[in-house]
């Protein structure tokens, strides 16, 4: 039986750490083999951390590595350079020149440096796992028992575990040879050679003209859907994920930060059942035929694998953890993610210079999410009020609120414009323009739709009116 009452030494291998350093002293080319795999913090012993940090800095400056050059470099580096009273150098902390000589002499073979480095890294990950779990245990003992605190504890624990898993997986990633990448791309292109344009590269949304213009919603890409309030951002986003869920039979995650799950589902019931939305919100006004339509819509919605999270305080890190958990629980990948909307999110870090910097960080993390989860992300966004002050109120790229990073990180930027929002007597009443101002690798242009407000639905308009650049 294990005795958990006595303190235990964290897992490590002094011999593996010594062999990594010794290999670098014997063969400078060994550094290229392990570059990016290890940091000085992966070493358990403090003196080994200092030696590896010195060797890493020297290798970066293309300086030769041997017992003499490393020792001389370390003699000129102070442990606390900001403290004039602390004159200790790296060299003082490692036991002198003799220890470096012993490391080189006792290394079995520099040819095995990668194996040694993997041992060091694996022990480092185990120590990090122990530290994270210990912190989680301490927090669980210290904090309260209310639901919010419990959820926070679970999220913090899960987020930390995910970050460790990402660190572990990152070590296995590397370059892909051009010849391999070419073969993969050639196979992909060959599969489309008989495509007459009707086969989409991504998932279909049900708005045919939009799907053709974008060639569907492609995996790994971020689609920014932006507009002023009341333009129908949430409605369009929900319409699109309904279509993607139906066409792919895949799983969709909806992060409804602005409204509750119930409010979003009411919109979907109106859209799928073609029920008057105002009466649906006042069910005592529904007729028998309305109820038939409601049940028809509900039947269609039951066939969609869509999951809602309406937490009002979310960061990209939270979304990553919750998506991973959803995929693990359901045993399947995501076919798409909808986030409503980006300005209501908070950054994953604790502090930012300003809100624009925070939104920029959020945008970059969301782009990484799309790539990592290999699915399209529909990211809803508000626009600046400056739109209201122009005679032509159709949005332009500079209207994206708080951050130009949204434009840079998105594969597609789509603006919603409805003339009758500004001009109630407009001849374009009930019409909507989906203005594609950015489409990486594809056409921009305007897609014209009918906006059926009572059914919370964007519907296809005659193809002859749609045009591209």
For residue 184, give the DSSP letter. H
- pLDDT, tens digit, 9 for 90 and up, residues 244-281: 999 999 999 999 988 888 888 889 888 888 888 878 87
d(CA 116, CA 415): 54
Residue where the block lists tokens 């597609």: 412
pLDDT computed for residue 412 by the predictor:
93
391 in Cβ contact with 414 (< 8 Å)? no
What's the half-sphere exposure (Cβ side, CA atoms, 13 Å) at 451?
23
Segment 433-455 mean pLDDT: 90
**CA 438 to chain CA mean position, Å:** 21
Q: Which of 203-212, 298-307, 440-449, 457-466 is least confident?
A: 457-466
Residues 6+ apart with CB under 8 A from 455: 270, 271, 274, 275, 276, 277
380 forms beta bridges with 225
Determine the Cα–Cα distance for residues 336 and 333; give it in Å rounded to an integer: 9
> 100 near 93, Cβ under 8 Å?
no
C-alpha to C-alpha distance for 101 and 322, rounded to whole angstroms:
50
The alpha carbon of residue 277 and the mean position of all alpha carbons in its chain are separated, in whole angstroms, by 34
Per DSSP bridges, beta strands 412-417 and 431-439 are antiparallel
Residue 350: the pLDDT is: 64
pLDDT confidence bin for 377, thresholds 50/70/90? very high
| Residue 115 confidence class, pLDDT cut points 50, 70, 90 | very high
Question: Annotated catalytic sites, by residue?
Answer: 258
Distance of CA 242 to the CA centre of its chain: 22
Calculate what percentage of the chain has a pLDDT beyond 90: 27
- The torsion of the CA quartet 332, 335, 340, 341, rounded to 10 degrees, works out to 110
CA-based nearest residue to 237, from 388, 378, 115, 447:
378
Report whether pLDDT(432) > 80. yes
Q: Identify the residue with better confidence: 225 or 283.
A: 225
Is residue 336 over pLDDT 60?
yes
Q: What is residue 466's predicted lDDT score, i.e. its pLDDT? A: 53
pLDDT digits (tens, 9 = 90+) for 155-210: 777 777 777 776 776 665 666 778 777 887 788 777 766 665 567 888 999 898 99
What's domain 201-468's architecture? Answer: 3-Layer(aba) Sandwich (3.40)
Mean pLDDT of 25-49: 88
Q: What is the pLDDT of residue 43?
A: 95
pLDDT (average), residues 224-229: 90
pTM value is 0.69
334 sits in which H/E element: strand 334-340
Q: How many other β-carbons are positioned within 10 Å of the β-carbon of residue 190?
A: 9
Asked whether residue 371 carries a pLDDT value surpassing 50, the answer given is: yes
Predicted local distance difference test score (pLDDT) of residue 249: 92
| pLDDT at res. 415 | 94
CATH architecture, domain defined by 14-170: Orthogonal Bundle (1.10)
- 142, 308 contact by CB (below 8 A): no
Residue 357 burial (10 A CB sphere; 0-12, 13-18, 19+): middle
Of 88, 66, 70, which Cα lies nearest the Cα of 78? 88
CA 96 to chain centre: 46
Cα end-to-end distance, the chain, whole Å: 74
Question: Which residue matches tokens 């999951």?
Answer: 307
Structure confidence at residue 1 (pLDDT): 46
Residue 336 class from Cβ within 10 Å (0-12 exposed, 13-18 middle, 19+ buried)?
Answer: buried
How far is residue 390's CA from residue 82's CA, in Å, rounded to a whole number?
55
* Six-digit token string for 437: 């101002």
Task: Give the pLDDT confidence score for residue 170 in this predicted structure.
Answer: 63
For residue 341, whether the previous peptide bond is cis, meaning omega lies within 30 degrees of 0, is: yes
**Listed residue (370, 252, 270) closest to 308, CA to CA:** 252
How far apart CA 142 and CA 136 sit, in angstroms, is 10
63-73: per-residue pLDDT in tens?
Answer: 899 989 988 88
pLDDT of residue 22: 93
**Among 80-94, 203-217, 276-290, whose mean pLDDT is lowest?**
80-94
Element (H, E) at 415: strand 412-417
Domain residues of the chain, as ranges? 14-170, 201-468
* Mean pLDDT calculated for residue range 214-240: 92
pLDDT of residue 252: 93
Position with higher pLDDT, 402 vs 90: 90
What is the average per-residue pLDDT within 219-226? Answer: 93
Q: What is the pLDDT of residue 4?
A: 53
């Amino acid at each position: 039986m294990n005795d958990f009452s006595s303190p235990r030494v964290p897992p490590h291998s002094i011999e593996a750490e010594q062999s990594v350093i010794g290999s670098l002293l014997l063969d400078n080319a060994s550094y290229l083999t392990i570059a990016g795999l290890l940091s000085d913090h992966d070493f358990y012993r403090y003196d080994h951390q200092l030696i590896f940090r010195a060797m890493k800095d020297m290798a970066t400056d293309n300086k030769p590595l041997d017992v003499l050059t490393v020792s001389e470099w370390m003699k000129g580096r102070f442990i606390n350079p900001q403290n004039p009273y602390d004159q200790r150098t790296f060299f003082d902390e490692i036991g002198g020149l003799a220890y470096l000589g012993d490391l080189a002499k006792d290394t079995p073979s520099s040819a095995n440096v990668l194996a040694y480095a993997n041992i060091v890294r694996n022990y480092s990950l185990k120590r990090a796992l122990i530290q994270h779990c210990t912190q989680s245990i301490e927090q669980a003992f210290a904090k309260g028992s209310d639901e919010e605190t419990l959820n926070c504890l679970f999220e913090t624990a899960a987020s930390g575990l995910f970050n460790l898993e990402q660190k572990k997986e990152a070590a296995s990633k590397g370059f892909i040879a051009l010849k391999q990448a070419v073969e993969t791309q050639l196979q992909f292109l060959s599969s489309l050679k008989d495509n007459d344009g009707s086969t989409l590269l991504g998932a279909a949304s049900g708005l045919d003209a939009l799907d053709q213009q974008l060639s569907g919603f492609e995996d790994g890409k971020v689609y920014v859907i932006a507009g002023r309030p009341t333009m129908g951002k949430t409605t369009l986003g929900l319409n699109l994920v309904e279509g993607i869920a139906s066409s792919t039979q895949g799983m969709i995650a909806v992060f409804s930060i602005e409204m509750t799950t119930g409010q979003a589902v009411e919109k979907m019931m109106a859209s799928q059942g073609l029920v008057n939305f105002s009466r649906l919100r006042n069910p005592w006004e529904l007729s028998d035929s309305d109820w038939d339509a409601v049940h028809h819509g509900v039947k269609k919605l039951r066939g969609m694998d869509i999951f809602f999270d309406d937490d009002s305080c979310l960061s990209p890190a939270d979304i990553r953890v919750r998506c991973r958990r959803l995929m693990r629980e359901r045993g399947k990948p995501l076919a798409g993610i909808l986030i409503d909307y980006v300005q209501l999110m908070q950054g994953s870090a604790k502090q930012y210079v300003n809100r624009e910097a925070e939104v920029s960080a959020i945008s970059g993390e969301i782009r990484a999410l799309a790539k990592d989860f290999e699915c399209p992300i529909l990211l809803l966004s508000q626009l600046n009020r400056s739109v209201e002050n122009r005679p032509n109120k159709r949005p332009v790229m500079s209207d994206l609120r708080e951050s130009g990073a949204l434009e840079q990180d998105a594969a597609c930027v789509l603006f919603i414009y409805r003339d009758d929002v500004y001009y109630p007597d407009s001849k374009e009443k009930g019409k909507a323009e989906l203005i594609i101002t950015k489409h990486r690798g594809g056409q921009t242009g305007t897609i014209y739709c009918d906006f059926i407000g009572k059914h919370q639905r964007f519907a296809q308009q005659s193809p002859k009116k749609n045009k591209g650049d």
